[in-house]
Amino acid sequence: MVLLFRIEKDAMGEVKVPADSYYGAFTQRAKTNFQISGLRAHKEFLVSLAIIKKAAALANIELKQLDEKIGNAVSRASDEVIEGKFDNFFILDVYQAGAGTPFNMNCNEIIANRATEFLGGKIGQYLVNPNNHVNMAQSTNDVIPTTTRIAILFLLKDLVQEGRKFEWSLRKKSEEFKKILKVGRTHWEDAVPTTLGQEFESYAVSVAKDINRIIEISEELKELGIGGTAIGTGITTHPKFHETVVKKLNELTKLDLTTTKNMIELTQNYNCFVSFSSSLKILAIDLFRISNNLSILNSGPQGGIAEIMLPDVEPGSSIMPGKINPSIPECVIMVAFDVMGKDKAVELAAQYSILELNVMCPIIAYNVLQSMKILTNALKMFRESCIDGIKANEERCIELLHKSTAIATALNPYFGYQIVSKIVKEALNDNSTIKETILKYKMIDEKDLDKILSPEEMTQPKEIDLILVNKIKNSESYKMFLEKL
């Protein structure tokens, strides 16, 4: 007869656990209690958790606190968890008991049962104890925040790599479009001339700053409170455990992790996660802004601005034939909104630090790691399926520039604000260009006007040609025009 369940006992009584399960009574109770979302911990979180268990076992062996045979079995079992052999037994919802005790015990029980097998025992026999051995010199209260820090640092490399690639994709477009003059806009209105290249370069600079900010803020996450146990005092640990376990973690992760002078503070204060989440939010804000701007500049193809053409990736409508939408930027905006919302959840969770402990680390971990993953994927998609394939509609850029009032500001130093305002108003009333209107009054030669309206003059700081100013203002045509104002 095949047994479907085994009976385990804990402080609350007997618990039925699936017979072949590597988790035990604590996990089974938590599974029953917390049926909320169906969301599970991120893989990187589980790997980081198991790495901590391995490092703790090795540290306790070195400090002669843990039997070497048991410690090596824990280390070996932790390796298999790291490899993903027991992923199916991490069954708990991300919304669970405070501090993440179910996550910690789920891992402790899996490792204990596998280590028990290594020592010749059977699942459920617990020759290696989840609490006494696997969790030695640890508490959920220092394990889960440390797990979160390490998991974030693991994911950081991919996010930074995609961010840099995205930045350089924008820079390549800025170089490609550097000579394309167009209307710059403020308040949804024509402002002054710019180049399409300058627009894309500004986007690249923003993203570069965002990635640098994320890297800089991530440094604080390297400070670990592991060894602080329940409230940061280090109760139940060897005096050298903190520095020893951090050393072991560095050997296993190569992350340049550091010890702390005050584990009590790290147990209470999760502002490092707030800062890091905020840096992700800032990147999301810029990705939203860039996506929105590209959608506007792409609008049309006939009834909008249409200064750029985004790559066609899919039909845009189930009812309107031939319609193509800015699908990639729209997806990026959805990601940005989600990251902004997750950042708010992290902010609120970090506030919930009561006396010696913040108990909201599980939701902080899930939201920060999820934000990192979707931002990484969004950057890759945005670059490959949109930015790299953007084309400039140079004819449309020039057409709109000449039809607009954008070039008027460049004329102010030469003609004065009042005269230029009059010219602009007349050009709009007559449906003519600024250039056509001003040449009509013969206050300036066309060659001189073209110099003022050249891209070099209009899109960067430039010294005013005082000789030309005097030439214009001494002309009879200028004086006559001035008298009519």
Beta partners for 186?
Answer: 189
How is 8-37 classified by DSSP, letter by letter?
EEETTEEEEEETT-SS-HHHHHHHHH--S-
Contacts of 132 (CB under 8 A, 6+ apart): none
DSSP conformation letters of 59-106:
HHHHTT-S-HHHHHHHHHHHHHHHHTTTGGG---BSS-SGGGHHHHHH
Other Cβ atoms within 10 Å of 216 Cβ, number = 11
Torsion angle of the four alpha carbons 428, 431, 436, 441, in this order, in degrees rounded to the nearest 10: -60
DSSP 133: I
**Under 8 Å between Cβ of 149 and 368:** no
Contact in structure between 123 and 116 (CB atoms under 8 Å): yes
What's the rounded Cα separation, in Å, for the pair 80 and 89? 12
Among candidate residues 255, 273, 477, the one with its CA nearest the CA of residue 369: 273
Strand partners, 40: 93
> Of these residues, 21, 202, 317, 318, which one is catalytic?
317
Catalytic residue flag (residue 317)? yes
* Long-range CB pairs of 37-40, under 8 A, 24+ apart, other chains included: 37/93, 37/94, 37/95, 38/93, 39/93, 39/94, 39/95, 39/366, 40/90, 40/91, 40/92, 40/93, 40/94
End-to-end CA distance of the chain: 105
Active site residues: 317
